Structure 1
């Protein structure tokens, strides 16, 4: 039974206990799924961070290995070299991960610049390695007013652009200021239950797609380009 001592809102009788072996691929050593969480606000009382931390607790209880990236000090895209410490930290975590959670506030009807900056620093491929392609992705947003889905809809487009397996479920918390207590812990509610649903689905999707990256990212157009490049090198006249 997972440790639920830090999850007071959970009904232990119904909490998901996921058997990793049911999802194992031929190349899978059945290690805990590695999940990276990004959040999109630098405020001291950041509801997107609170949501991310609730997600971390749930994922850990489900057996995942979880890291949260702190975007404090991350420069604007292309303003520094990729070896900047915060950029390198983010990219290393992306390479390490097998699935991701993106949690953002909705600001002016959209995701925040902090959220987009983190995604913009992640390349589609680097040195033959793909830090996002073929990985599972879960999306969450917090709203200052009534519930909307503007930010998660934008993130869903970005997830597809980054060639990630964006799971069907998602979370949008309305009037977030009323859904967390003074300690930043989420109160029991249907919104909280939805986050549990999303994290359960993410773990399952991550287990299903990991170890299969070579299949999921093997594309006809790239095979044609690679063959043409190889042919050009072979047939290049010798001087």
Structure 2
């Protein structure tokens, strides 16, 4: 299956982006195709209704990748109880043609315990674009973020086994949902 990730941070090496890279690795290990769109590396212009953005490479890639995907994963850091403006701006450029009938997994990274507010906002946008929200989500926060940060000491790596198991379980559930939705009718 083909998945598109939209990593909505405007910071190089963001924890939410590194979490996407980890999920990408897990999916590719299982033979799935993944296009990770890192909005830090590939920014899109500020959305303005009525503006023509034809010819903008970042928007063309975002739109094409979202259309071609069988499942979408949205990732955001949680800022002041909400998703990043960078991700919201990118989603404003997309429409029902990119989301309708597609499963979407929302993930967040928060400085506190979890990023529930940003997850709720992402899921509201998915509903408005006629996407199908995964019943599960992934939110990491506090000390869990260290698993995805560059300065993780190798001696700490084993202490994140429960987190990695939870992430793998949620991802597997999302892959199954995507497969069920894209199965031809009657199979």
Q: If the TM-score is normalised by the length of the shorter chain, which range does it land in?
A: 0.7 to 0.9
Instruction: Provide the aligned C-alpha RMSD in A.
Output: 2.3
Distance 2:166 2:74 in 1: 15
Q: Would you say 1:178 and 2:146 are equivalent positions?
A: yes
CA contact (8 A) 1:62 1:200 kept: no
Segments of structure 2 that go 5 or more residues without pairing to the other structure are: none
Name the structure where helix makes up a greater proportion of residues: 2
* Aligned positions of 1:95-134 closer than 5 A: 95-124=67-96, 130-134=97-101
Q: Would you say 1:54 and 2:26 are equivalent positions?
A: no
Q: Would you say 1:165 and 2:132 are equivalent positions?
A: yes
Aligned to 1:64: 32
Aligned to 1:82: 53
Q: Would you say 1:39 and 2:11 are equivalent positions?
A: no
Distance 2:149 2:83 in 1: 24
Segments of structure 1 that go 5 or more residues without pairing to the other structure are: 1-32, 125-129, 214-239
In structure 2, the CA distance between the partners of 1:138 and 1:89, relative to structure 1 (3 Å rule), is: same
- For residue 193 of structure 1, give the secondary structure of its aligned residue in structure 2: helix
Aligned to 1:143: 110
1:211, CA displacement in angstroms? 5.4
Q: Which has the larger radius of gyration?
A: 1
TM-score, normalization: structure 2? Answer: 0.85
Distance 2:48 2:149 in 1: 38
Deviations 1:122-149 (CA, angstroms, capped at 9, x unpaired): 122xxxxx22101111111011122241
CA contact (8 A) 1:141 1:172 kept: yes
1:189, CA displacement in angstroms? 3.7
